[in-house]
């Protein structure tokens, strides 16, 4: 009996120790107190990059593919060239139309100068006619005075009656000169009015021709842009992906030709919401990369997403049902790669990594 009691006691102790060790192991695995540390870890993390899909802005047949799969390129380097013959002819046509409109504008300017000169000449003629009218009126007044004096002398017998007839003829001549000067003034004023109306018409036509010139210049600029867009260049330095376009292929705006991956990459780690309680920008991070033989790279927390990943999904979860199970949501955390690391050049967008962040920093 004593031996049986000892065996029972020993079995009870063994079960208790095993249970205690299992509980400690579970607490350690789930990083619960007393094993919880300031280091937060997740395997739900990936390398990201600003992958640009290269597409044409104009339609046409591919005349040249200047790059190959996975080739490094510089900013401004030619990637694909489209057949530009039609666009070149459109530019030539637009430039010819612009030249015509500019010539029309020059003709309008010349016509305006002629009309302004006509107005100036009419004004000078009016002034000359007015001077002639003043002179004719003065001559008429002089003849009238001579007639008055001659009539007194004729009555006194100092002059003959023939002199009176001569004075009457001189008066009629002076009155005719006055009428001629007045008619010249009216004619000059009519010419001036006609020239003024013609100048107004020229000014109205000038506005229309100037608008046509502006429109023609815009057409030329659009043709130049379309011609330039036949050369598809790299917007930034990077490495091209798999080339999806072939020589002679007909493409339209929006057709995916290839992808351009820039050299700059970062890491987005999706942590459980409970893990982000003490996370903040500037904290140190360790990134273990599977593709680099589990080598580690240093990083720094840049920003934490403003919402969980489920909030950005197209179809959001609806938990307003009778059966509800609480699921820990994940917050994306953006981590920058610290400069000066040789292994960082081997990172590629889409790689899976394991991230550890020291939240005690």
pLDDT of amino acid 226: 94
DSSP secondary structure, 184-226, as one string: HHHHHHHHHHHHHHHHHHHHHHHHHHHHHHHHHHHHHHHHHHH
**Are 221 and 118 in the same domain?**
yes
Residue 179 maps to which CATH number? 1.10.287.620
**Are 92 and 187 in the same domain?**
yes
Residue 221, domain member (yes or no): yes
Q: Give the angle subtended at the CA of 173 by the CAs of 168 and 176, to the nearest 5°.
A: 130
**Are 122 and 163 in the same domain?**
yes
* Range(s) of the domain holding residue 239: 54-82+230-259
Closest CA to 273 of 316, 325, 331: 331
Per-residue tens of pLDDT for the chain, all 361 residues: 566 666 677 777 787 878 878 877 776 666 666 656 778 889 999 999 989 999 999 999 999 999 999 999 999 999 999 999 999 999 999 999 888 888 887 776 666 555 555 555 555 555 655 666 566 666 666 666 655 665 555 555 544 555 555 656 665 666 666 666 656 555 555 555 555 555 465 555 567 777 788 888 999 999 999 999 999 999 999 999 999 899 999 999 989 999 999 888 999 999 988 888 888 999 999 999 988 888 999 999 999 998 887 777 766 666 666 666 677 788 999 999 999 899 988 999 999 999 999 887 6
pLDDT of amino acid 144: 64
Could you list the beta-strand ranges (E) of the chain. 39-49, 52-54, 60-65, 72-73, 78-82, 231-233, 238-240, 250-251, 258-262, 265-272, 284-289, 295-304, 330-337, 352-358
pTM equals 0.61
Residue 107, domain member (yes or no): yes
**Are 102 and 114 in the same domain?**
yes
Nearest-angstrom CA–CA distance, 352 and 47: 7
Closest CA to 220 of 309, 87, 323: 87
Residue 286 maps to which CATH number? 2.40.30.170
Give yes or no for a contact between 54 and 241, defined as CB atoms under 8 angstroms apart: no
Residue 11, domain member (yes or no): no
Residue 58, domain member (yes or no): yes
Residue 16, domain member (yes or no): no
pLDDT of amino acid 152: 58
**Are 98 and 182 in the same domain?**
yes
Residue 71 maps to which CATH number? 2.40.50.100
Residue 21, domain member (yes or no): no
**Are 176 and 186 in the same domain?**
yes
Burial class (CB in 10 A: 0-12, 13-18, 19+), 204: exposed
Give yes or no for a contact between 24 and 236, defined as CB atoms under 8 angstroms apart: no
Specify the DSSP class assigned to residue 253: T
**Are 333 and 268 in the same domain?**
yes
**Are 132 and 204 in the same domain?**
yes
**Are 148 and 269 in the same domain?**
no
**Are 252 and 286 in the same domain?**
no
Give yes or no for a contact between 115 and 200, defined as CB atoms under 8 angstroms apart: no
Closest CA to 232 of 254, 264, 262: 254
**How many structural domains does the chain have?**
3
Sign of the C-alpha dihedral, residues 85, 86, 91, 96? positive
**Are 338 and 351 in the same domain?**
yes
pLDDT of amino acid 80: 96
Burial class (CB in 10 A: 0-12, 13-18, 19+), 285: buried
Give yes or no for a contact between 347 and 296, defined as CB atoms under 8 angstroms apart: no
Residue 10, domain member (yes or no): no
**Are 248 and 183 in the same domain?**
no
Specify the DSSP class assigned to residue 39: E
Residue 9, domain member (yes or no): no
Nearest-angstrom CA–CA distance, 241 and 52: 10
Q: How many CB atoms lie within 10 A of CB 84?
A: 19
């Amino acid at each position: 009996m004593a031996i049986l009691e000892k065996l029972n006691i020993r079995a009870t102790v063994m079960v208790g120790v095993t249970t205690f060790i299992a509980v400690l192991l579970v607490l350690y695995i789930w990083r619960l107190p007393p094993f919880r540390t300031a280091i937060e870890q997740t395997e739900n993390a990936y390398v990201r990059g600003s992958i640009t899909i290269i597409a044409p802005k104009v339609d046409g047949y591919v005349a040249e593919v200047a790059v190959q799969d996975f080739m490094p390129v510089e900013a401004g380097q030619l990637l694909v060239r489209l057949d530009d013959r039609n666009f070149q002819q459109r530019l030539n046509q637009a430039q010819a139309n612009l030249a015509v409109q500019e010539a029309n504008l020059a003709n309008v300017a010349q016509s305006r100068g002629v009309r302004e000169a006509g107005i100036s000449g009419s004004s000078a003629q009016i002034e000359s006619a007015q001077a002639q009218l003043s002179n004719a009126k003065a001559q008429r007044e002089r003849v009238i005075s001579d007639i008055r004096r001659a009539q007194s002398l004729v009555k006194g017998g100092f002059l003959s009656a023939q002199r009176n007839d001569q004075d009457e003829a001189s008066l009629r001549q002076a009155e005719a000169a006055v009428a001629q000067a007045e008619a010249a003034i009216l004619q000059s004023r009519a010419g001036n009015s006609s020239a003024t109306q013609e100048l107004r018409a020229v000014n109205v036509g000038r506005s229309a021709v100037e608008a046509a010139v502006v429109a023609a210049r815009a057409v030329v600029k659009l043709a130049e842009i379309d011609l330039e867009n036949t050369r598809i260049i790299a917007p930034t330095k990077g490495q091209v992906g798999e080339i999806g376009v072939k020589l002679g292929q007909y493409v339209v705006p929006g057709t995916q030709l290839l992808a351009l991956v820039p050299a700059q990459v970062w890491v987005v780690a999706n942590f459980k919401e409970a893990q982000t309680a003490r996370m903040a920008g500037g904290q140190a991070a360790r990134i273990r990369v599977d593709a680099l033989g589990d080598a580690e790279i240093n990083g720094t927390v840049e920003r934490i997403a403003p919402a969980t990943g489920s909030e950005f999904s197209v179809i959001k979860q609806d938990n307003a049902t009778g059966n509800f199970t609480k699921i820990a949501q994940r917050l994306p955390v953006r981590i920058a790669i610290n400069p000066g690391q040789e292994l960082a050049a081997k990172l590629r967008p889409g790689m899976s990594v394991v991230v550890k962040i020291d939240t005690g920093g």
